[in-house]
């Protein structure tokens, strides 16, 4: 049975306001003694409902009971969304501390066995697991998602088209998952390899050009029984049919609030600059997915430490150069919003890889990261990485 109302979806975009922002952050629920994943979502959710109704409204389940998500709700702009999310983070970490639970924020848990994880038994996640089987059960990953309101369904689809080629750059910047199943994966974002390269309808989407074309695609999926819900289309950038937003889903979860905030600001700038370019009739660069996938692999493998291909010029450039290009391109919109994202000299994957190369064990590296996350997200004091601009 279809759970998608495509007419209602178009109405959601017709009523949307450009520049509203929603933030979704996923955290691992951990035993504070050994940092193993523990299935405590329902307990945390219940306690929030008894003590903090604002937090309870923000909390959402994910695929496994050892994961918890907090959502800002629809902020009127990026500053409002970040303020909302800051409050939710502090409340969540206070709740966790009171319940003797730790929270982790990397793209993967470094050693958890997926076979030991319990899935959330909601109708939605039962459909996911029943439909995807091993692919779903294997997916114990953690992400940052950013929603940006875009008025008009056609504009939203065209904005997604414009963002396709930027996805690898955002991934490289956000890469934060080096360890998986007790091993050094050798990748900067093993989360992306595990999730994005395994799930159907995931990764870099085609360019659809219009709502009519995107709707035709969804109608085919519905008619053939391929999906029941629009959220079973897991593209790394997608029009979100219920919220009237463009949702960017490519980023690993971030280990510090400062990095998560900076990524959110940059993503908002990218989405709104794309909308402005569309409104002004600027030419769109639409490389085929196979070429964007080359850069996606580079971002997965080397992240911010590697090179990305300038697909318009056919040249390899340092990933940091691509970051600077994003800042320059989004400068007009960001200037109006008053946002200047700042990133550390080394991102999460680089810090983890460097510590491991210096002889720290995987467990010690993760313990340091969890401590840094608690320090940053709980709002006790600034996180330890020195913030510098990528420009």
* Rounded to 5°, angle at Cα 90 from 265 and 330: 0
Q: Which residue range(s) make up the domain with 371?
A: 6-388
CA distances (Å), origin 208, targets 146, 154, 215, 243? 21, 10, 9, 20
Is 79 domain-assigned? yes
Query: What local confidence, expressed as pLDDT, does residue 2 receive?
Result: 60
Taking the chain, what is the end-to-end CA distance rounded to the nearest angstrom?
Answer: 50
- Sites in the chain below the pLDDT cut of 70: 1-2, 380-391
Q: What is the pLDDT of residues 163-172, one digit of tens each?
A: 999 999 999 9
Give the pLDDT of residue 307: 98
Residue 245 lies in a domain: yes
| Rounded CA separation 148/64 (Å) | 26
Residue 251 belongs to some domain of the structure: yes
The DSSP secondary-structure symbol of 239 reads E
- Grouping H, G, I as helix, E, B as strand and the rest as coil, residue 26 is strand
**CA–CA gap between residue 257 and residue 334 (Å, rounded):** 20
Residue at 1 is within a domain: no
Domain-located, residue 190: yes
Q: CA-CA distance, 199 to 376, in Å (whole number)?
A: 32
Taking the C-alpha atoms of residue 307 and residue 320, their distance in angstroms, rounded to an integer, is 8
Q: For residues 106 and 389, what is the distance between their CA atoms, to the nearest angstrom?
A: 22
What 3-state class would DSSP assign to 354? Answer: helix
Q: Looking at residue 178, which CATH number applies to its domain?
A: 3.30.590.20
Q: Which of 287, 36, 37 is nearest to 161 (CA)?
A: 287
Residues 6+ apart with CB under 8 A from 352: 106, 176, 178, 179, 365, 369
In the chain, the number of structural domains is: 1
Nearest in space to 175 (alpha carbons), one of 259, 289, 78, 56: 259
CB 79 within 8 A of CB 21: no
* Range 189-193 contact pairs with CB under 8 angstroms and sequence separation of 24 or more: 189/107, 189/252, 189/299, 189/300, 189/303, 189/349, 190/107, 190/108, 190/300, 191/107, 191/108, 191/141, 191/142, 191/143, 191/252, 192/107, 192/250, 192/252, 192/296, 192/299, 192/300, 193/300
């Amino acid at each position: 049975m279809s759970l998608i109302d495509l007419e209602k979806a178009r109405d959601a975009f017709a009523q949307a306001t450009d520049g509203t922002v929603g933030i979704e952050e996923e955290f691992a629920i951990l035993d504070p003694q050994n940092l193993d994943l523990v299935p405590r979502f329902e307990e945390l959710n219940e306690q929030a409902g008894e003590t903090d109704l604002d937090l309870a409204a923000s909390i959402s389940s994910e695929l496994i009971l050892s994961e918890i998500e907090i959502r800002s709700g629809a902020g009127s702009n990026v500053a409002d969304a970040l303020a909302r999310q800051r409050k939710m983070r502090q409340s969540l970490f206070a709740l966790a501390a009171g319940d003797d639970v730790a929270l982790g924020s990397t793209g993967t848990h470094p050693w958890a066995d997926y076979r030991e994880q319990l899935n959330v038994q909601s109708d939605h996640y039962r459909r996911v697991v029943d439909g995807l089987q091993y692919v779903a059960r294997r997916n114990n990953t953690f992400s940052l998602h950013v929603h940006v309101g875009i008025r008009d369904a056609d504009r939203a689809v065209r904005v997604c088209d414009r963002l396709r080629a930027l996805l690898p750059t955002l991934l490289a910047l956000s890469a934060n998952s080096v360890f998986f199943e007790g091993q050094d994966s050798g990748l900067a974002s093993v989360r992306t390899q595990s999730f994005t390269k395994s799930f159907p309808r995931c990764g870099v989407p085609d360019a659809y050009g219009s709502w009519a074309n995107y709707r035709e695609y969804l109608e085919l999926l519905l008619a053939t029984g391929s999906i029941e819900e629009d959220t079973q289309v897991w593209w790394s950038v997608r029009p979100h049919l219920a919220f009237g937003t463009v949702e960017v889903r490519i980023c690993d979860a971030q280990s510090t609030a400062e990095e998560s905030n900076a990524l959110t600001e940059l993503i908002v700038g990218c989405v709104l600059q794309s909308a402005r370019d569309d409104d002004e009739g600027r030419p769109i660069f639409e490389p085929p997915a196979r070429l964007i996938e080359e850069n996606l692999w580079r971002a997965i493998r080397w992240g911010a430490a590697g090179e990305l291909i300038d697909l318009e010029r056919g040249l390899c450039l340092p990933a940091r150069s691509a970051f600077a290009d994003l800042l320059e391109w989004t400068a007009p919109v960001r200037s109006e919003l008053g946002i200047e994202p700042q990133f550390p000299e080394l991102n999460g994957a680089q810090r983890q890889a460097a510590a491991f190369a210096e002889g720290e064990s995987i467990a010690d590296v993760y313990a340091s990261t969890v401590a840094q996350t608690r320090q940053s997200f709980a709002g006790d004091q600034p996180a330890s990485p020195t913030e510098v601009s990528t420009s």
